[in-house]
Amino acid sequence: MKFLRNLLAAILGCLIAFGILSVMFFFFAALVGNAGNGVVVRENSVLKISINEPIYDYYGSDENDPFAGLFEKGQGLDEILHAIKVAKTDNRIQGISIKNNFLLAGLAQTQELRKALEDFKRSGKKVYALSDYYSQKDYYLASVADKVFINPQGLMEFKGLSSEVLYYKDVQEKSGIKMEVIRHGKYKSAVEPFLTDTMSEENRTQITELLGSIWNQMLTDIASSRDISVEELNVIADTLGARTPQMAINSGLLDGLRYQDEYQKDWKETLGVGEDKDLNVISLSDYINVTKNKNISLGKDKVAIVFAQGEILYGEGNRDVIGQGTLMRALRKARENDNIKAVVLRVNSPGGSSLVSDIVWREVVLTKEAKPVVVSFGNVAASGGYYLAVGADRIFAEPTTITGSIGVFGTIPNIHELSNTIGINAEQVGTNANSVDYSFFEPMKERFRRQLEEGVQMTYDTFLERVSEGRKMTKEAVNEVAQGRVWSGVDALELGLVDELGNLDDAITAAAEMAGLDGYGIRKYPKYKSDFERFMEDFSSAKLKIGESVIKEELGDKTFQTLKELKRMTEQKGIQARMPYNLNIQ
């Protein structure tokens, strides 16, 4: 007994010591991280844009939180765009250098960055780009520059867009683990991989047309920047006419070969810096810290921006997940604050829980009754992401936004065949006719399937009604463009699913005009819990992230993503209003 008491005391002491050391470590790390905030922007400087972390529409950390960013890494698009806007009129900044490999941003975010850089160039300042490797997305961004260079031994992709969809029917049959599927909408192909081993013509059609629309938008932008026709760009892609650095130069996509020292020499000549002098370069992260409060209107009247980003799941929500808890509070704060005269809802979501989408939709409608509400779509606003937005006054989408996908489905995992194979027999006992509705270990009963189909149909009808009311279209007209099909922003405008093409700034301007505002400030919602707070609240999640990183390193990115997608599908709860597939455009 004494031994157990001493053992428990020792364990408790170790845990307390570990907790104290952890807090001290985090505090020290925070102090070190904040020690570099005394950054000075020198005269005749170049702003270096090199984004090596995932880009969120909004990072949402409390700027007074000393522990922000200790675990997860990311950058807010809103902060990047603001920094470029400030740099345009900052006499100390004479140019922008784009140095990026493998940009971790969506196409709509990349397009917003291009527009910001185009605006910067109107000041007469230069933008140059250099990379060792240009993916198509990296080149799309870099093509806005006055000069685009590549390492002499570098590589470049320019071949057109593609997407790959994995199918699991055969592996289900071999493993005895299957997904029971109920869906509505002939294009609602999120569940297609569990029903067949080949792509349906409907799915192939929508993916082909979606990729074509996005590719044409990218080519239009590149053609304008590089003075090459869209037709010529397609010929270059079809013939792989940019597969070597010299071929890319000959085709007009690039301006020259440069090593890093040669690239710096170009900048020195442009800025009139002597060869024996150092080039003044400031990183994007440092410049963001220096300028985050510059050129911000502080008027009493405000336009609120409420960010909804990530998969839609029932619960509180965070930076990566839309939950009704966080979004409802954010919209209510904006609605009830008398200084806030208009609200912009920024949506970047592939959808998810139809229940949560409807809850947030209701808050948007209530907010619209009190003040103007304008929606801005980011990379994707599909299915549930579209659902929660249709109650607003106006909707803006980027040309490359993936949207629509008006359709629903439900999936339930079943291991009846596997349990038979390995010798598991499940017996059920219930008090009423329907008390035992479904077992993981037994085939789905037809009665229960009919119940699920009824629920899916009801949810789909409600979805159509929400869109019909919000977009002022007949229910029949909505159904024609629904069926779970996804559209680009350009196509969505033609179909009446959105009101205008434009970015977040365009949506903010429209909201301010609707509220009759001349001068106004911006207030952003929500504020997310810091990484440190989340770590302390749920230590198991931190262990999970460490475990995921180890598995990913061992299996490779592609295999890991496949397993993660299977895990996500098996964990879905309730009827889903979700994008028809996990679209990875390459």
Torsion sign across C-alpha atoms 473, 477, 479, 484: negative
Rounded to whole angstroms, the Cα distance separating 517 from 180 reads 53
DSSP codes joined into one string, 214-236: HHHHHHHHHHHHHT--HHHHHHH
Rounded to whole angstroms, the Cα distance separating 179 from 188 reads 15
The answer to whether 152 and 257 are in contact (CB under 8 A) is: yes
The one catalytic residue in 45, 131, 285, 383 is 383
**Is 85 an annotated catalytic residue?**
no
**Is 188 an annotated catalytic residue?**
yes
Which of left, alpha, beta for 317 (phi over 0: left; psi -120 to 50: alpha)? left
Phi, psi of 122 (to 5 degrees): -65, -15
Rounded to whole angstroms, the Cα distance separating 559 from 538 reads 27
Residue 364: alpha-carbon gap to chain centroid: 21
The answer to whether 237 and 161 are in contact (CB under 8 A) is: no
The answer to whether 254 and 143 are in contact (CB under 8 A) is: no
Whole-angstrom CA distances from 465 to 361, 364, 406, 477 are 12, 16, 11, 11
The one catalytic residue in 137, 188, 371, 529 is 188
Q: Which pair of structure tokens corresponds to residue 62?
A: 């409390």
Q: What positions carry a catalytic annotation? A: 188, 383
